[in-house]
Amino acid sequence: MKYDFNTTEARAKTLDEQDSLAEYRSKFFIPKNKIYVDGNSLGLMPKLSETSLLRIIDEWKTIAIDGWLDAEKPWFFFSEDLGAQIAPIVGAKPDEVVATGTTTVNLHALVSSFYKPKEGCSKLLADELNFPTDIYALKSQVALKGYNPESELILTPSKDGRVLDEKDIVDLMTDDVALIVLPSVLYRSSQLLDIPHLTKEAHKRDINIGFDCSHSVGLVPHKFNEWDVDFAFWCSYKYLNGGPGAPAFLYVNKKHFNEYPGLAGWFGNNKETQFNMSLDFEPATSAGRWQISSPGIIGAAAIEGALAVTLEAGIENIREKSLKLTSYLIYLVDELLAKKPYNISIGTPRDPNRRGGHIALEREEFAFEICEALKSHDVVPDFRPKNIVRIAPIALYNTYQDVWNVVQILKRIIDEKEYKQFIK
């Protein structure tokens, strides 16, 4: 994709004028006077989330227990409903997705079911750049099955500490691997892995594969069925804007609906018979069988409004604008901040097909202090050790002007050596 960028502020304004998603910014609560570029950690609140939250709070006030069946959207089916709503943007059938648990809990629920180590085939293949919680959970799953995580959890190494080479992952898909769990987008460098390719290679070797899509759902279109992914899970508070600690999602490919849940609970029961209160668990024949407990309806309420915004904007349009925003940021950094004394480099793959929604700005020295200086200018980025400032311009609510401003502020922070104030 060739973009018509230049470094002037006038161009930023033109890009905003030409932006077909520009109207979506007004559908969010934007923190006053802030340039919020941290939506990859916590998405901003959609106004429609306030609407759906208030409805459910009112139902709790007025009909209480009857809300389970008589609410406008009955709470008893709410998790499945949200799953069916999000299914199109992940390329799944409506009953293959459910809103439940949290990211790490869903990882546990799925891996406890799909990791079946046996003599000679007991390895769990992951990678060394994943978000730490995934690795903690995988280690404990290996130990729970009576194996040694030190020898059985294989972490694909990275050559440069930024990205993974899919070939290295495939080379590790050996006969002794029982399951593969990988992230879709790496949380530091923003590398997007080739999910269809990795899935195909895993299946050639008869290995099941699952993905943590926390950094890609709501940003990148997924086609789980077409790619034949076995399972996936993701949080709803990053690009989906579902709110802090909102319920997460999980996807299970229909072909695995007969798999017995490793962490069973009564909300995974067939809904028709759940209230028979039998001591024999009768798992639902849908992804719903991986639910454990009563759903957190209030947290889930916010997702309803947030999803409506994403679905209306269209995931293809969101991806297109996100790539243009991140390309613009890369362009401005290359033009204005790459040379001495700025020395800022791009730690994210430049190939748009290999990157997610944020850009990792790297600087050998004072990256932390520069991040603090950005905050003092009301920019909201985040810092990841040891030298990365992550900037996520979000398609639904950030502007090209935001990106231009962030780059100008960065330039000033270094021109004026403002970061020195933040050296401890």
Shortest Cβ distance from residue 384 to ligand PLP (Å)?
12
- Please state the separation of Cα 398 from the chain's center in Å: 18
Q: Which helix (H) or strand (E) holds 125?
A: strand 123-127
Q: Which among 167-175, 209-217, 288-296, 399-407 is the span making contact with ligand PLP, rule CB under 6 A?
A: 209-217
Applying CB under 6 A, which of residues 27, 108, 162, 215 lies at the interface with ligand PLP? Answer: 215
The CB-of-226 to ligand PLP minimum distance in angstroms stands at 23
Binding of ligand PLP by 14 (CB under 6 A): no
Nearer Cβ to ligand PLP (127/259): 127
Member of 114, 115, 147, 187 binding ligand PLP (CB under 6 A): 187
Which residue in the set 214, 253, 327, 405 belongs to the binding site for ligand PLP (CB under 6 A)? 214
133 binds ligand PLP (CB under 6 A): yes
Task: State how far the alpha carbon of 55 is from the alpha carbons of 29, 66, 243, 304, 383, in Å.
Answer: 18, 14, 16, 11, 37
Q: Which of 5, 60, 68, 131 binds ligand PLP (CB under 6 A)?
A: 131
Q: Which helix (H) or strand (E) holds 97?
A: strand 97-100
Only one residue has tokens 């899509």, namely 213
**Token pair listed for 88:** 């199109």
Pick from 59, 80, 81, 134 the residue near ligand PLP by CB under 6 A: 134
Instruction: State whether the Cα torsion 80-56-41-267 is positive or negative.
Output: negative
Footprint on residues 28-57 left by ligand PLP (CB under 6 A): none
Q: What angle do CA 273, 274, 280 make, to 5 degrees?
A: 85
For 346, the token pair is 């791009």
User: In 273-314, which ranges are continuous DSSP H helix?
Assistant: 297-313
Q: Which two tokens stand for residue 298?
A: 């209030």
Beta carbon nearer to ligand PLP, 73 or 188? 188
Interface residue with ligand PLP among 183, 242, 268, 357 (CB under 6 A) is 183
Range in contact with ligand PLP (rule: CB under 6 A) among 8-16, 96-104, 203-211, 388-396: 96-104
Q: Which of these ranges, 59-67, 91-99, 210-218, 253-261, lies near ligand PLP under the rule CB under 6 A? A: 210-218
Kindly report the length of the chain: 424
Is 418 a binding residue for ligand PLP by CB under 6 A? The answer is no
CA-nearest of 328, 320, 326, 323 to 5 is 328
- For residue 345, give the 3-state DSSP assignment: strand
Gyration radius from the chain CA atoms: 22
Note whether 382 binds ligand PLP by CB under 6 A: no
Q: How many residues bind ligand PLP (CB under 6 A)?
A: 12
Q: Give the N- to C-terminal CA distance of the chain in Å, as an integer.
A: 43
**CA 395 from chain center: how many Å?**
15
The DSSP line for 6-17 is -SSHHHHHHHHH
Q: Is 141 in the site for ligand PLP (CB under 6 A)?
A: no
Q: Taking CB under 6 A as the rule, which mask of x and - marks residues 226-245 in contact with ligand PLP?
A: ---------x----------
DSSP E strands in 152-305: the ranges are 153-156, 177-183, 208-212, 231-234, 248-252
Shortest Cβ 106–ligand PLP spacing (Å): 8
Closest approach, Cβ 188 to ligand PLP, in A, equals 10
Could you tell me the smallest distance in angstroms from the CB atom of residue 353 to ligand PLP? Answer: 20
* Residue 100-129 contact track with ligand PLP, rule CB under 6 A, x = bound: --xxx-------------------------
Residue 79 within binding range of ligand PLP, rule CB under 6 A: no
Q: Which is nearer to ligand PLP, 85 or 103 (CB)?
A: 103
Q: Does 216 bind ligand PLP (CB under 6 A)?
A: no
- H helices of 91-118, in order, are 103-114
Min CB(33)–ligand PLP separation in Å: 27
- Shortest approach of ligand PLP to residue 219 CB, angstroms? 12
Listed in sequence order, the residues at least 6 apart from 345 whose beta carbon sits closer than 8 Å to its beta carbon are 338, 361, 362, 363
Binding site for ligand PLP (CB under 6 A): 102-104, 131, 133-134, 183, 187, 212, 214-215, 235
